[in-house]
């Protein structure tokens, strides 16, 4: 994630360049960020991104568990009803 996040930061900064500002290459944008903000500037916004990733994973696991429990209960109820009906 370390290398990818730096590239995403540079790309994002290139996309939000102000109107009338000259288009920069990736390396020019990288140099500008490091010059103005230091190496830490390449990791700006990583905190909220990590929180988002953790929350997304937590919701997915919770949903998977809830769906599994619902499906298992429903199937067990159907099987029990079928046995009663057959008896």
* pLDDT for position 13: 79
Is residue 80 very low, low, confident or very high in pLDDT (cuts 50, 70, 90)? very high
Question: Is residue 47 within 8 Å of 1, Cβ to Cβ?
Answer: no
Write the pLDDT tens digit of every residue in 32-79.
889 999 988 888 888 888 999 999 999 999 999 999 999 999 999 999
* pLDDT for position 66: 95
C-beta atoms surrounding 30 within 10 Å: 19
Q: In angstroms, how far apart are the furthest CA atoms of the chain?
A: 80
24, 29, 52, 57, 62 from 7: Cα distances, Å: 14, 10, 19, 23, 32
Verdict on whether the full-model pTM lies above 0.95: no
Q: Which two tokens stand for residue 66?
A: 């809830």
Residue 20 has pLDDT above 90, yes or no: no
- What is the distance between the alpha carbons of residues 70 and 63, in angstroms, rounded to a whole number? 10
């Amino acid at each position: 994630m370390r290398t990818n996040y730096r590239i995403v930061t540079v790309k994002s900064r290139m996309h939000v360049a102000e109107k009338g500002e000259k288009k920069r290459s990736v390396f020019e944008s990288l140099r500008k960020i490091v010059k103005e903000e230091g190496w830490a500037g390449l990791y700006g916004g990583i905190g909220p991104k990590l929180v988002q990733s953790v929350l997304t994973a937590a919701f997915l696991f919770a949903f998977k568990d809830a769906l599994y429990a619902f499906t298992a209960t429903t199937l067990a109820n159907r099987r029990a009803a079928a046995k009663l009906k057959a008896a």
